[in-house]
Amino acid sequence: MAPKSQRVSSRPRPRRFFFVFVVLLVVLVALCVLGMLGMFSVTHVQKMSYLLRPLWDKPPTPFHHIPHYYAENVSTEYLCRLHGWSPRPSPRRVFDAIIFSNELDLLEIRWNELRPYVAKFVVLEANTTFTGIPKPLYFSRNRRRFSNFDNMVVHGVFPGRVGSGRDPFRLESEQRVAMNELLRRAGIADGDLVIMSDADEIPSPHTVKLLQWCDGFPPVLHLQLRNYMYSFEFPVDYSSWRASVHIYGRGTQYRHSRQADVILSDAGWHCSFCFRHLRDFVLKMTGYSHADRVRRKEFLRYSRIQKVICSGEDLYDMLPEEYTFRDLIKKMGPIPSSASAVHVPAYLIQNADKFKFLLPGGCLRSPGSLSYDLGLTKLNWRRSFSALFSLQNANEGPFQQTLTDPVVQARRPDPQVPTKFETIRPAPPETTGEPSSTPTSPPEGATDKQTLGARVIYRQLKTLQQRSRQSPTSQRAVNKLGLTSVKPDHNLALTFEYRSHLRSNRDEGEIVFREWGEQSR
């Protein structure tokens, strides 16, 4: 008996793209309806977008990974041959080029790790963030901390755009273009090796040594770094790829984007948001190119940031940026903490007491004192005057202790407790120019720890004044500012009350300024 022939259905099978289209259409309609009803916020839209990313986005072309071989007490010549490369008769010169913001601790670790192999450290910083917020030149103000690198450092300053409203990615790109000229000023030549990375992307010393002594690797090579968040207690993955090394040539351009398809595996560390003070988290969150992720003012509260650091949660309350549902589900939730501090920078372990906040169990952060050095700033308030501020290296300590600090509250400071030079020089209301006088040097014996601290957590006064033109709240804050006494060689006091545009609570405090000449009073 012949088997019955199976009837093939002529009805076409549903196609995957049609199913995806229907799902996206339903989600879009639902979002529109909820948005019209006021039941859906931008936060929910972003989360839904990240949740459905595997449906609407494709992953980039995968890198070709070069296996990385290394062990202690193995010669560099042998390691070159093991990688399929050839050893050089003499090492290349290495230039380490970074755009710097405020990562002082990571910069110290980075430079001490790479010092034996680097010819020049090239550092470029700007006087504004990528989003146009004025900021101090942190490296310039802390140059003494890196005095043992003086003969190796080439430093440049990029003029930022205050409150420009321009695309932060464009401003970031302009700084990277400026780095090309700074490298030429540093004396780089064809055939030299240049490291292109951010300050928190640290190549391992043995990686730099390997590339310094070997020939045969691609002229542009990305570095795969171990990814950490907040400290080396929270390892994330090996997804960091933006750091790269280049054999310098005529067409070399400083970039932080993908420039090749080849990457050297396990070549260093990327410690993101690895700051000592909570104030530094706020500066980066509001100042770097992805500042639009700060969707609610609560994100900038110190209490919330501290909780996030210790729990390994996401600072922006965002879902992982993954291209498959498997990876998305795997990375959802807090980052698991690790008790291991093995295979981390050697300088970090050698100075564990100094950098305990970067090691397992050290998640607690101090708020940090006001370290903004406003430099020479002209402020056109209701009572117009020009001011010189030097609020650098203020005392450490929680904000709650600031308002009761006797140094801050004293109207007639104790002669035995010197403070850093702080002056306010009055000017006629019609004056529009910068002050002509300059501060004198502080007396011998004064210490940074005794600095007069206007340590109330506030935005730089210049930024506040600029925002006052558009914000009635900020205008009222500016109008509150006024000199309570202006007498030569006497105490100068300034009382202020303000409501920050990024904080929901009101911070009040009194800043007392005095001159060094008053120590004899």
DSSP letters of 314-336?
-TT------SSHHHHHHH-SPPP
Please compute the mean of the pLDDT values over residues 311-320 and round it to a whole number: 89
Q: Which residue has the higher pLDDT, 438 or 131?
A: 131
Whether 33 and 123 share a structural domain:
no
Please compute the mean of the pLDDT values over residues 59-88 and round it to a whole number: 97
Contacting residues for 483 by C-beta, under 8 A, at least 6 apart:
383, 385, 424, 426, 492, 493, 494
Domain enclosing residue 33, as ranges:
23-56
Which of the listed residues 317, 346, 366 is the one where a domain comes to its end? 366
Please compute the mean of the pLDDT values over residues 84-96 and round it to a whole number: 98
Whether 184 and 271 share a structural domain:
yes
| Dist CA 424 CA 422 (whole Å) | 7
**Per-residue pLDDT at 451:** 32
* Residue 32 binned pLDDT confidence (cut-offs 50, 70, 90): low
Residue 501 lies in a domain: yes
Q: Which residue has the higher pLDDT, 516 or 182?
A: 182
**Per-residue pLDDT at 61:** 94
Domain count, the chain: 3
Please compute the mean of the pLDDT values over residues 147-164 and round it to a whole number: 87
Whether 202 and 88 share a structural domain:
yes
Whether 341 and 379 share a structural domain:
no
Whether 105 and 181 share a structural domain:
yes
Whether 114 and 50 share a structural domain:
no
Residue 8 lies in a domain: no
User: Does the pLDDT of residue 188 top 50, yes or no?
Assistant: yes
- Scanning the structure block, which residue is given the tokens 């904080």? 503
Whether 344 and 385 share a structural domain:
no
Whether 337 and 401 share a structural domain:
no
User: Does the pLDDT of residue 508 top 50, yes or no?
Assistant: no
Please compute the mean of the pLDDT values over residues 170-190 and round it to a whole number: 91
Contacting residues for 254 by C-beta, under 8 A, at least 6 apart:
97, 176, 177, 179, 180, 183, 194, 196
Task: Count the Cβ atoms, other than its own, within 10 Å of residue 513.
Answer: 22
| Dist CA 257 CA 254 (whole Å) | 9
User: Does the pLDDT of residue 43 top 50, yes or no?
Assistant: yes
**Structural contact between residues 424 and 483, judged by C-beta atoms closer than 8 angstroms:** yes
**Structural contact between residues 318 and 50, judged by C-beta atoms closer than 8 angstroms:** yes
Token digits of residue 172: 């970031």
Whether 360 and 412 share a structural domain:
no
| Dist CA 312 CA 333 (whole Å) | 9
- Helix-strand-coil percent breakdown of the chain, rounded to 5? 35, 20, 50
Half-sphere exposure of 37 (CA within 13 A, CB side): 8
Whether 318 and 435 share a structural domain:
no
- SS3 track for 6-22: CCCCCCCCCCHHHHHHH
Whether 498 and 359 share a structural domain:
no
Residue 7 lies in a domain: no
Whether 295 and 230 share a structural domain:
yes
